[in-house]
Every structure is written in structure tokens, then in C-alpha cells.
Amino acid sequence: GKYTGMVEDCCCDYQTVDTLNAEVLHPILQELVTTPFFRYFKMKLWCDCPFWPDDGMCSLRDCSVCECPENEFPEPFKKPSRNGASSDDFKCQMEKQEAFVDRTLDIKAFKGWVENDNPWTSDDETDNAEMTYVNLQLNPERYTGYTGPLARRIWDAVYDENCPNYFSSGICHEKKVLYKLISGLHSSISVHIASDYLLDETNNLWGHNLEILHERVLRHPERVKNLYFTFLFVLRAVTKAADYLDQAEYDTYNPAEDIKTKILVKRLLYNPKLQSACPLPFDEAKLWQGQSGPELKQEIQKRFHNISAIIDCVGCEKCRLWGKLQVLGMGTALKILFSVDGSNDINQSLQLQRNEVIALGNLLNRLSESVKFVHEMSPAVEKMAKER
Ligand code: FAD
């Protein structure tokens, strides 16, 4: 294939990553994200965009993450309504599967988990008002029709926040890691759009769109490289926090399922194949060393924090759901790798929220899916491009 040699800043080559992903990581992650612990993400569906007030809620067909009528839930779980606005403001598509939001989880969810804030992200993670649980399995990341200048404006702002004039000046060398993470995530989102695309609107036919895969991702080798880089970065964070994640509380009052979750988590964290093929997917110790290290870290943290706020302005609800989730997942990876100072045993001092762990697991799964899809589709896309 086109990608040979080592993934940047990593210890293993592209082929090893592909094999490891296909045989080990992808199967485990696919099952893990279906467990009750990992499939509900807590999120504020209404969002206040601090930047562009005109970019309102999405009215596009496949965009909405719908809440269910209040009467489905017992009294104590009802949310107070916001500024007098009722949930009628959202058109509830009950006939659609994704309409299901299980709010009974509210009272159960926090057993054994801390509530603290993530310094890398803009949300107050301890603010439970107006939060709902979204069943991620019923709201897949896919093509939504969110496009044009509004979507473009968000990406532009994200890249601009990361490093203005990145391309023209090259002055932001040390911020390259953050750029690669954002670009890798962007690639992954594009790959999911391409893999689950509305091909024929009249017949509601969904499928692969290899043209989009080529145009947006494969045609730009650095975007593919950034995807692999991001995958390994997040994988490193997960394995670095292995002991913490292993001892965490995965109880959802569903004993059979919860045992499965714990087994899968263990299988992922202490995987002999992973440990022998790619023991250190990313070496964070090499980063931000030297005198300016601490300031640089703070600056990167501030920038990532701002990027997280920009995502609030994504005007398509389902896109925002996955945008918020993946940015929180990334913020959690950054927190694991960089927020805990100089200790060899970060698992002692680390504190993660339940929602952060859910985001981290789902982000890793998304990246794993993207890597797999890119690897599998590359030959067909190259053939298609040549024949033109
Ligand atoms: P865009 O993807 O909008 O890219 C804009 C520009 O960024 C490109 O022209 C290029 O210069 C640069 N660029 C593109 N990719 C990369 C990369 N990997 N690395 C570096 N630079 C790059 N749409 C959906 O259908 N479903 C979703 O779930 C969805 N989620 C989204 C989540 C977020 C947070 C955002 C901001 C947008 C989301 N969108 C989603 C919209 C989608 O990402 C695109 O913006 C949209 O499809 C229009 O694509 P485009 O071809 O104009 O290029």
C-alpha cells in the first residue's frame, strides 16, 4: 500500500496498526460500545453558541437527536424546563428509533464516579441541569446533510484557533500535535460520512460513497497519516490509564451486561497482542520538554478549551452530539497524558468522570472504525481514481 514505514511519533508501522486494529482492537471496541455503560452519553442538547447567534438548531432531516415526551418517565426524572421553553420546541419524531433517550439512568449513573471538571474542555462537566442521556447506538455518526458555509465556518474557526496561518507560515511547529489531532478527528468524521452516506434520497438508500472518501481524505496523504496518528494517540492514553480504567465502576444495575463490560475493558487494556506489537503507541514524555514546556502546555490547553467551545456552535444536533463527544474524548486523552504531573503512576492521581470514560471509549472506537474503513477501501478508491 501507499502507507509504509512508521506512523509519526510512534513505534509501529502502518501495517502493524492495520493488523492489530482488524484482529484485536476493532472487534473488542465494537462490542464494548454496545454495553449499557458505554452506549449512553450525557449531553446538553440545547446549546448556547457564544460566537454566531444566527446558527440555530438544525432543521435538517437526519440531524436531530430527539428527546422523548416527558410522560414516558417517572416524575422524579423530569427535567425542569428551561426559561419556560417546553420540549415541544423540538419536533419529536417518535416513529424514529433514535427518539429513544433513557433518562432513568440519571439516578443510577453516578454511583462510584467522581464529579470533576476537565481543564481541557469548555463544558462544566459537573453541571447536570439540562443534561439528557443519548443512546449512541441509535444515533450513529453518518451523513446528515450539514454542509455549506455554516459547517465550513466551524472548521475554519477550529483550525484558526489551533494555529492561525498554519499553512502559510509554519511558525507553529510545536503546536503540530494539536493540529494533527484535530485534522485526524476531521478525517475520521469525513470517513464516517463517506461510509454511511445517503445515496438516494427518494428511496432512502444508504451506503458507501467512495468519491467522498477519495476527495476529502484519501487524496490527501497527510490527512490519512493524521488519522492514524490520532488513533494511536488516543490508544496510548487508554493504555496509560489502564489500571485506573480497570478498577473503575461499570455498574449499571444490569449484572450480566456489566460483567461483559468489565471483561471487554480488561481485554482491551491488557492485551498481549497490543503489548507485543505496539507497546508505546505514542511517547508523550518527549513532548513539551524544555524551558517553555509548562507555558506551552498551558497555551495548548487554552486553545483546545476554545475549540471545545466552538463545537457548541455546530448547528446540526447529531453532528454536535458526535462533535462534543469526540472532543471530550480527546480532552480526556490529553488530560490523561498531560494533566497529571511527573508521576510514574498516574493511575493513583488520575480522576475521570463517567462521561469522560464513555467519550474516550467511543472516540477510540470511531477512530478504529475509520482506520479500518480507510484500510479496506484504499485499493478500490485508488483503482477508481486511476480509471478516471
Ligand atoms: P469540510 O470537511 O467542511 O472541510 C473544510 C476544509 O477543511 C476543507 O476544504 C479543507 O481545506 C480542510 N480539511 C478537510 N479535511 C481536513 C483534514 N482531515 N485535515 C486538515 N484539513 C482538512 N456532517 C455530516 O454529514 N455528519 C456529521 O456527523 C458531521 N459532523 C460534524 C461535526 C463537526 C464538529 C463539524 C464542524 C462538522 C460536521 N459535519 C458533519 C459537516 C462536515 O464535517 C463537513 O463540514 C461538510 O460535509 C462539508 O464538507 P466539505 O467537503 O465542505 O469540507
CB atoms within 10 A of CB 135: 18
H helices then E strands: how many in the chain? 16, 4
Q: Is 68 assigned a catalytic role?
A: no
Q: 269-295 pLDDT, tens per residue?
A: 999 999 999 999 998 887 777 667 778
Pocket test for ligand 1, best of 165, 177, 189 (most atoms within 8 A of CB): 189
**21, 31 in Cβ contact below 8 A?**
no
Ligand 1 binding pocket (C-beta < 6 A) is 141, 143-144, 146-147, 151-152, 154-155, 183, 186-187, 189-190, 193, 216, 223, 311, 314, 319, 322-323
How remote is the CA of residue 297 from the centroid of ligand 1, in Å? Answer: 27
The per-residue pLDDT for 184 is 97
Long-range Cβ contact pairs of 92-96 (< 8 A, separation 24 or more): 92/66, 92/67, 92/68, 93/64, 93/66, 94/66, 94/68, 94/69, 96/66
The residue length of the chain stands at: 388
Catalytic residue among 10, 49, 278, 319: 319
Low-confidence ranges of the chain (pLDDT < 50): 56-62, 66-110
Ligand 1 nearest atom to the CA of residue 184, by list position? 18
Q: Where are the beta strands (DSSP E) in the chain?
A: 40-44, 131-135, 197-200, 205-207
**pTM (two decimals):** 0.86
Q: Which cell is 171 given?
A: 511558525
Does residue 172 have an active-site annotation? no
208 annotated to bind ligand: no
Model pLDDT, residue 136: 86
8 A C-beta contact, residue 110 and residue 357: no
In angstroms, what is the span from residue 224 Cα to ligand 1's centroid? Answer: 14
Q: How far is the CA of 245 from the centre of ligand 1 (A)?
A: 32
Confidence at residue 33, expressed as pLDDT on a 0 to 100 scale: 97
pLDDT at 78: 34
Instruction: List the residue whose alpha carbon is closest to atom 38 of ligand 1.
Output: 319
DSSP state of 207: E
